[in-house]
Amino acid sequence: MSVYLSGNPVPWLVSGCGPEIRYLCLRDILRGACGDAAVIEEYKTLRSSDVCRRFLGTARGGILGDTKRFDLFGSGAMWRFAEAVARGYDRREPAVDATAEFIIRSCRGDSGGFIMNWKPRLEAACVTGAMVRRLLEAGFDDERTEQGVAWIRSHQRKDGGWLHCPVAGAMDVLRLLLFRRAGNGLIRDGDSSVASCVFASFECLMALLEYGQRRGGLEPTAASGAEFLLNNRLFMSNSNPSTPVCAAGGRGADFSLTGYPILLQYDILCGLIAVARAGRFGDGRANGAFNALIAKQNVDGSFPSERLERGMLCERRSTARHGRRDPWVTLNALRFFTRAGLVSANDLV
């Protein structure tokens, strides 16, 4: 067992946490020890499960989520697609395939970036990164995602992050909520005194990392994105809720608290995964986030869920889940440990 884990949570994940967690654990953590054949068989088991039927059975007209209000957290087509992919489903599922095609067809701007449900149809970095990332993860690696990757490359800022969003400040948010009108936030993109958005930067970086992994190399753009996170110490110290980190509404949070981000969200565990994927975990600027993560570990090697909020997977909003061992957060922690080379699959079987 690795010196970084106080116990082995894998038996709990694969035996007591349901078919989605079991499949993702085999796919992302244990593949090196169990082999591709075991992962393929486990996906067949997942597809035949009641959990799969219940989740994918919510599709209407073949599409998951609300197609008119497609950007709504929890119910819009973008959210339901991102959630499906995060749960392990991919384009082999007709509902996932149809939802992805709807998003590509209806939620892209003229230059290849993705939009939210506002007028005029202006692309935003946060949703472009999120959709390109989830499309790649679901198996949509074609000229359409290539266009999205090109958009992300072309909109990276000098600080290595991303900001591009037409909504900025309280009045723009109010106009968006009341009239679905985009604001004038795009003028801030060229203003170096305005910091990049942590949510947009994380989503765009993860899209580039996923794209680069499929091509066997790290893009310079992704390296700069990882540097942005490291320069900000993975936003470990963003404990002041008034700190503006979101271009749209100045939304701040204590990112040292762990959750399971699905769409346009972030925590330090996700930041650690990103820098590990970029080959930068050894950088000392990640130490604070790493030490904070280790301190959260339970005696059995599991990790707690400390944040249940918009943009995160919150299956049961109850104190029973909050603050105790959580399979999704534990899964993410193991993804980090294995990506960083701190734990191997053979350590965990």
DSSP string, 244-279: ---TTT-----TTS---B-SS---HHHHHHHHHHTT
For residue 325, the SS3 value is: strand
pLDDT tens string 160-210: 999 998 888 777 777 777 778 887 888 888 888 888 999 999 999 999 999
Residue from 80, 62, 83 nearest 71 by CA: 80
Residue from 134, 277, 249 nearest 203 by CA: 134
Interhelix angle 268-277/198-213, nearest 10 degrees? 30
**Separation CA 224–CA 170 (nearest Å):** 30
pLDDT tens string 114-158: 999 988 889 999 999 999 999 999 999 999 999 999 999 999 999
pLDDT tens string 309-344: 889 987 554 444 545 899 999 999 999 999 999 999
Report yes or no: 201 and 181 within 8 Å, Cβ to Cβ: no
User: Is the pLDDT assigned to residue 272 strictly greater than 70?
Assistant: yes
11-37: average pLDDT: 96
Residue 98: how many other CB atoms lie within 10 Å: 18
| Confidence tier at 251 by pLDDT (50, 70, 90) | low
Residue from 227, 245, 221 nearest 151 by CA: 221
Domain residue spans in the chain?
Answer: 1-56+232-349
Could you tell me the maximum CA-CA distance found in the chain, to the nearest angstrom? 56
- What is the CA angle 139-199-250, rounded to 5? 150
Tell me what the pLDDT averaged over the chain comes to: 90
pTM: 0.93
Residue from 138, 141, 116 nearest 128 by CA: 116
| Confidence tier at 287 by pLDDT (50, 70, 90) | very high
